[in-house]
Amino acid sequence: MPRTLVWLGFFLLLISYGLVRGEPPAAVTAATGRPLVVIDPGHGGVDPGAISASGIQEKSINLAVSFVAANDLQTHGIAVALTRQSDRPALQARRFIVVDDLHFRSWMAHHLGATLFLSIHSNSEPTGTVAGPILYYVAGRESSHQLARDLAQAFARTFGRTPQIRTIRQLVLLEMKVPATTVELGFLTNRQDAIRLSSGAYQRALGSAISQGVVQYLRHG
Ligand SMILES: [Zn+2]
């Protein structure tokens, strides 16, 4: 699918979402037979997500890494759409409601015709001692589990350490009907991770590893 067509579909969706919620225009869902990877940079706008002690906001890290992954995938000839491409939530509403924004992200992915979905986030936890990326999928969904395994292998090749794979019941993932994984890039509450995550070189390495994992996954199919 040409990139312009993806974005045209995206804008049509934004317009149609408020009018015909749940009933997308047929033109947007027309199957092209080619894979379309939808990348969902978590949070945005008034919703910063996790924040490091030094003030680094999750939403910016997620977006930067998503851009790298999207560009890398496009160089492999794979069509990509993003649920947001600037510092704004996915759903433009007068008042930000996190659940509505999350529903909109999975709705948008399906109705753009996603064949694969990746939500990109950065983690937090209270002790500050936990570090490293984690890959999440919904238990019992074998294709999503395979996607997580392929991503884990690509991370292992890039960083020399295999990230954990865990199951989760997360709204955006539960709603997806295609292979879907949440990539937690690292912990902003860990000092070392926060420094790494804010470096452009590390962001590029993460984005490239994500792209490699997706390419590997698509080869199985
Ligand atoms: Zn998050």
The DSSP call for residue 218 is: H
Is 135 inside any structural domain? yes
> Distance between terminal CA atoms of the chain?
18
Is 59 inside any structural domain? yes
Measured in Å, residue 6 CA sits from the centre of ligand 1 at: 25
Is 33 inside any structural domain? no
* pLDDT tens digits for range 107-155: 999 999 999 999 999 999 999 999 999 999 999 999 999 999 999 999 9
Measured in Å, residue 32 CA sits from the centre of ligand 1 at: 31
- Mean pLDDT over 201-208 rounds to 98
Is 130 inside any structural domain? yes
Instruction: Select from 115, 103, 105 the least CA-distant residue to 177.
Output: 115
Is 164 inside any structural domain? yes
Measured in Å, residue 89 CA sits from the centre of ligand 1 at: 12
pLDDT band at 220 (very low <50, low <70, confident <90, very high): confident
- Mean pLDDT over 167-179 rounds to 96
CA distance 81 to 70: 8
CB atoms within 10 A of CB 166: 13
Q: How many domains does the chain fold into?
A: 1
Is 152 inside any structural domain? yes
CA distance 157 to 36: 25
Residue 160 is predicted with a pLDDT of 98
CATH number of the domain to which 68 belongs: 3.40.630.40
Is 30 inside any structural domain? no
- Domain hosting 143: range is 3-13+46-220
Instruction: Select from 200, 215, 221, 213 the least CA-distant residue to 162.
Output: 213
Measured in Å, residue 131 CA sits from the centre of ligand 1 at: 15
> Are 139 and 167 contacting, i.e. CB atoms less than 8 angstroms apart?
yes
Residue 221 is predicted with a pLDDT of 65
What pTM does this model have? 0.85
Residue 22 is predicted with a pLDDT of 36
> Are 106 and 42 contacting, i.e. CB atoms less than 8 angstroms apart?
no
